[in-house]
Chains A and B, each alone.
Chain A
């Protein structure tokens, strides 16, 4: 969506860290989400963060939020071939809708 922007492609070597970046425009966003989509499948929630938090860590995943700059990132440590997918950033405010970015296609090379 036009309110959420992501770079379209990321190539990373197996074992390295991946960092996927996202910017959003809605200052009233209260929650920000990361979803993963494997080929031909629906989206799976990876994690989400409340807007009053700066960081959230869940195993190999680290989410960083800079609310002032409206910048969100997802870091995947020790990237594996199974991490190859499209990653979507999304935001929600006080209503029922989620606005998604265009998705970042992550390719893990050996």
Chain B
């Protein structure tokens, strides 16, 4: 069966510090991978998605970046965090089945920037 892991689960970082959130998927190959952010009281904002190794699409210009060094690994990074980067970050994967693009989400990483 397929599983998705995200870490760390909780992170408190000072403004200006770097960030690295990691996501890995097991039990499938060549998945589509996604990073979403859920800010307090707001919905889900798609940040990045990837359809293959080294292929990253950015949805929102910001000081975050994403990388996919391996087929089932997706990393969200920042060189210098801003207060506005605080939020709940969700990684997800999908493989199209019968046309529907069903996303399966990780448990999330809560980032607080102070």
Contacts and interface: CB of A to CB of B under 8 A. Distances in A.
A98 B92 CA distance: 11
Nearest to A45: B102
B43 interface: yes
A66 B106 CA distance: 31
Measured as residues with beta carbon below 8 angstroms from the partner, the interface class of chain A is: 20 to 34
B108 A48 contact: no
A102 B103 CA distance: 17
Interface in B56-114: 59, 90, 92, 94, 99-108, 110
B45 interface: yes
Interface in A67-110: 88, 92, 96-103
B49 A96 contact: yes
Contacts, number: 60
A42 B32 contact: no
A44 interface: yes
Contact of B101 (A31, A40, A101, A102): A31
Measured as residues with beta carbon below 8 angstroms from the partner, the interface class of chain B is: 20 to 34
A43 B89 CA distance: 11
Contacts of A35: 105
Given A43-B90, A88-B44, A97-B49, A31 B99 contact: yes
B90 A103 contact: no
B19 interface: no
B53 interface: no
26 contacts: A1-B44, A31-B100, A31-B101, A33-B102, A40-B110, A41-B107, A41-B108, A42-B90, A42-B106, A42-B107, A42-B108, A43-B44, A43-B105, A45-B104, A48-B102, A50-B99, A88-B43, A92-B100, A96-B32, A96-B94, A96-B101, A97-B49, A98-B103, A99-B46, A100-B36, A103-B44
